[in-house]
Amino acid sequence: MLRTTAAVVAGKAARVASRLRGGGSALPGLVAERIDPGFLAHALADVPDGIVVVTGTNGKTTTTKMLVAVLRAHGRTVFSNPTGSNFTRGVISSMLGELPLRGRLDADLAVLELDEAHALKFAAAVRPTHALLLNVARDQLDRFAEIDHTAQLLASLAEQTTTGVVLNLDDSFVSRIRDRVADGVTVRYFGVDKSIADRLPELQEQDVRFEDDFVPPVAGPQDGLLKPSDERTFEVVFGSDTAGSDTSGSDTAGSNTEGNGTVGPLELQQRGLAAMINATAATATARMLLGDAFDPAAAAEALRAVTPPFGRGEVVMVDGQPLELVLVKNPAGFTVALGTYGSTPVATMIAINDNYADGRDVSWLYDVSFESLRARGVTITSGVRGYDMALRLQYDDVAVAAVETDLDAALDSFLAQHPQEPKRIFCTYTAMMALRRTLAARYDLPDIGEEAS
């Protein structure tokens, strides 16, 4: 107990010092962990209703924010780690702001966004009660190797989850993880209605070794399916036409009475099919966690109110005109972003860095088609790999007016050239963070910590 208290005091001091100097989010967690190696387990020991890990290649931040919003709308107190703290020491650092000196988190649930590798490091310290596994795609191959390895990381996390796992019905890498879940652990699914199944290839990859014979599990009455009405409006349907069918291991006991919990119709503040799928995943997970207390109307109201996480389609008003920040980090994500945000020609900037958090290898840019940008062209490319991005665009006959590797200088030029029209910036993670800080200082935006609280 004394060691934990000492770790809390030292970690809080390091957190204050780190914020004053504008440092990263890992240092306070490192300090606390050095003093008390079992800090995570101690801090989460009194959380009664579940420790939920959200992981996968794409959509972690958005889905986590949606899930937290739905749970809070049901009166639950929820701890969640801020965007950008999706590693174990980042979780500790963000937790320090809420911990009393005794070192026990006071919350009903903890919902934690963790990257695929750090999710296993977390599980080695604290076994999650629930896991939401979103998808597997090529992402930062220099860090996590091939997608088979990423799928193995998610499967290993599922093996260590004690109560419930929610899987992507339509992702062949993820849905197969059902066979790795321990006996007695409930499995639920989220997915898309068959009416839009033809759009799945633009969102996710399939395991080519099983591409021809992959048959997704059949959705059961407690599994959530996305059913869109148009490009903006959708429902999450539980059980509808499939009520009573088996879900290949899903807990379907109880049955048709559970199948009238349709959520929606509703429209999100964040655009695109990917965001709707994230909302479906969050809804299915909330329903598992809340059981009979789940209220479809409360869930829909909460989802409607969720603002895009910073950089994920976030809109900043700059001198009366919208500037949209769109995070891109892998071929699937950039392709979806171009399909979602690039359909209407606007002034465009692309900022590509190759720092560790972005992934050093940017050859993945050649797996993305940029043809949708031909009509208007790109005003400026920027970031450490600004020239590489400009070269890549040339191969798709996309005109690039200028290259400026300095992000602030590029932003100034971009804004000055398009003062009276909508603008959009596609950017990798560290480029987005830097641009977001600059915009926050100029236009009084909430910082990352404020948004996440």
Give the helix/strand (H/E) hosting 20. Answer: helix 2-20
Contact 217, 178 (CB under 8 A): yes
Query: Which active-site residues does the annotation give?
Result: 361
**pLDDT tens for each residue of the chain, 453 residues long:** 677 788 878 878 877 776 666 555 677 878 888 888 888 899 999 999 999 999 998 888 889 999 999 999 999 999 998 755 667 777 888 888 888 888 888 999 999 999 888 899 999 999 999 999 998 876 544 444 567 788 899 999 999 999 999 999 988 889 999 999 999 999 999 999 888 877 766 555 555 555 556 677 888 889 999 998 877 789 999 975 444 334 444 443 333 333 458 998 999 988 788 889 999 999 999 999 999 999 999 999 999 999 877 656 678 888 888 898 888 888 877 887 887 765 677 899 999 999 877 778 888 899 899 998 998 899 999 999 999 999 999 999 999 999 999 999 999 999 999 988 899 999 998 999 899 889 888 887 665 543 333
Ramachandran angles phi, psi of 134, nearest 5°: -85, -55
As a dihedral over the C-alpha atoms of residue 180, residue 186, residue 192, residue 194, rounded to 10 degrees, the angle is: 90
Contact indicator for 435, 410 with CB cutoff of 8 Å: no
Domains and CATH numbers, the chain: 2-305 (3.40.1190.10), 312-452 (3.90.190.20)
**Neighbouring C-beta atoms of residue 321, cutoff 10 Å:** 16
3-state DSSP call for residue 235? Answer: strand
Contact indicator for 154, 177 with CB cutoff of 8 Å: yes
Give CA–CA dist 386/394, Å, rounded: 13
